[in-house]
Amino acid sequence: MKGNRKIKLALLFFIAFSVSGFAQMGGKFKVVLDAGHGGKDYGAIYHGFIEKNIALNVALKVGKILEKDPGVQVIYTRKTDVFIELIERPNIANKADAHVFVSIHCNGEAKKSAFGTETFVIGNTKNASNLEVAKKENSVIILEKDSKTKYAGFDPNSPETLIGLVAQQEAYINQSIDLASKVQDNFTEGLKRKSRGVKQAPFWVLHKTAMPSILIELGFLSYKQEGEYLNSEEGQEEIAEAIARAILDYKKEYPASINVADDETPRRDDLGQPATNKTKPAETKSPEPDKEDKPLAKGTVFKVQISASGRDLELKPSNFKGLNNITKDASTSVIKYFYGETSNYSEAKQLLEEAKEKGFTSAFVVAFRDGKKVSVQEALK
């Protein structure tokens, strides 16, 4: 009898442990690392430096760092030198229901004089150099079988079709820019690399993802000194550390445990597409604080981030669809614009609804303590 009891207790312990383990897995922050090119697609080649190899080495090093954090799950689009179709890369991220998608590449140009790092998010652009980078990365589809069927109506050399790729990622643009800014800031401040900025361009691989997504150009292989750095073990380790740190900093602000009903991250429907809010928002009059709300720590305030842009706009209502009480943060490579300010989270959510009613559908609540940005979860503790 005692033996049976021990077996039952052991079985119950095993089941409880297993359930706990699965629950923890479900709450992990999922990062998809996409090493650009691969296999028959070499990417940029200059001075003997090969983009596909450098991108893979850096992606694996980033993943190794991230995997040390038990709260992170890393998914790779490739871990070896294989050809992955462009269409499959965002599919991997969408099937995993990932929280961020990070595509890693190297740059190159004919004059061999440009150098520096740049990180892209999806967006329209009339800038010739930005479009050229997008065309180069999109052109891999010509190496794929049945590309005319899979990419019907898409011409990688046509700016018109490139510009039509932006709509789906609009729901995630603020978060994408936030992540891209962290990457660029780490490159500039930590590694003293030349920053070419956070930019927007119509990359096919970014527009198909259903989560915040960025494409990092690590530097120019065509500029020999930079190519040597990117091709070196030391350079790749430093770059990987900078990217991993940016992702982990982003995770602190947008953790996997965030309740999507609180509008911290965009909702997704069953098809992995940005979901529209079908419920009518509450009235936009000044709300009464929830009775359950606890007093916040002194110096903690909430704002609604409505936009992030490289343009420095005058803070007047006509520039923000009629919204007053706009502030901005120009301390990073991309200027962030905020609506309202309150120490009460319920009021912050009301401000969020007001911003969305005005057309800022990708707006979300952010928190600051004594002037420093913190996660909403930390602010509510």
Look at the block and give the residue holding tokens 């500039």.
Answer: 188
Closest C-alpha among 316, 62, 57, 335 to residue 181: 335
Q: What is the mean pLDDT of residues 281-292?
A: 36
Query: Which residue, 189, 222, 253, sits at the end of a domain?
Result: 253
- When pLDDT is cut at 50, 70 and 90, the band that residue 128 belongs to is low
Return d(Cα 368, Cα 254) in angstroms, integer.
14
Tell whether 227 and 339 lie within a shared domain. Answer: no
Give me the pLDDT at residue 354, please: 93
Are residues 228 and 344 both part of a single domain? no
Residue 4 has pLDDT above 80, yes or no: no
When divided into structural domains, the chain yields a total of: 2
Is position 285 within any domain? no
Domain boundary among 253, 284, 315: 253
Q: Is 80 exceeded by the pLDDT of residue 294? A: no
Give the domain extent around 189.
29-253
Confidence bin at 289 (pLDDT 50/70/90): very low
Same domain, yes or no: 313 and 188: no
CATH code for position 311:
3.30.70
Q: 5-39, pLDDT tens digit by residue?
A: 554 444 444 434 333 343 334 489 999 999 999 99
Residue 374: which pLDDT band, with cuts at 50, 70 and 90?
confident
Range in 64-73, 102-111, 270-279, 281-290 with the lowest mean pLDDT: 270-279
Look at residue 284 and tell me if it is in a domain. no
pLDDT band at 365 (very low <50, low <70, confident <90, very high): confident
Average pLDDT of 286-290?
38
- The reported pLDDT for the residue numbered 348 is 92
**Which of 115-119, 157-161, 319-323, 359-363 is least confident?**
157-161
Of 126, 110, 128, 129, whose CA–CA distance to 118 is shortest?
129
Token pair belonging to 302:
């909430």
Query: Which of 220, 253, 286 is at the close of a domain?
Result: 253
Query: What is the DSSP code string of 283-309?
Result: P-SPPPPPTTPPPPPTTEEEEEEEEEE
Query: In this structure, is residue 41 part of a structural domain?
Result: yes
pLDDT above 60 (res 119): yes
pLDDT band at residue 71 under the 50/70/90 scheme: very high
42 shares a domain with 187: yes
In the prediction, which pLDDT does 287 show? 38
Longest dimension (CA), the chain: 83
Residues in the chain: 381
Average pLDDT, the chain: 78
Q: Is the Cα torsion angle 165, 167, 171, 174 positive or negative in sign?
A: positive
Q: Which of 57, 103, 66, 33 is nearest to 234 (CA)?
A: 57
Give the pLDDT score at 262.
35
Choose among 353, 378, 352, 369: nearest CA to 251. Answer: 378
**Residues 318, 245 share a domain:** no
342/242 same-domain check: no
Query: CATH no. for residue 163?
Result: 3.40.630.40
Query: Is residue 270 in some structural domain?
Result: no
Domain assignment of residue 295, yes or no: no
Q: What is the pLDDT of residues 144-153, one digit of tens each?
A: 777 666 666 5
In a domain, 291, yes or no: no
295 has a pLDDT exceeding 70: no
Confidence of residue 136 (pLDDT cuts 50, 70, 90): low
User: Are 352 and 291 in contact, with CB atoms under 8 Å apart?
Assistant: no
- pLDDT, residue 101, reads 97
| C-alpha closest to that of 358 among 314, 313, 304, 278 | 304
198-239 pLDDT, tens per residue? 888 778 788 788 899 999 999 999 999 999 999 999 999 999
Label the pairing between strands 335-342 and 326-329: antiparallel
Same domain, 178 and 305: no
- Please indicate, yes or no, whether residues 170 and 42 belong to a single structural domain of this protein: yes
The answer on 317 and 203 residing in a single domain is no
Report which of 153, 142, 207, 136 is spatially closest to residue 176, judged by C-alpha positions: 207
**In the predicted model, what is the mean pLDDT of residues 63-86?**
96
% the chain with pLDDT above 90: 46
Residue 221 and residue 106 in contact, taking contact as beta carbons nearer than 8 Å: yes
> Is the domain of 225 the same as that of 317?
no
In a domain, 156, yes or no: yes
Residue 316 lies in a domain: yes
Same domain, 216 and 361: no
Residues 100, 36 within the same domain:
yes
What does the pLDDT read at residue 40? 94
Q: What is the pLDDT of residue 203?
A: 81
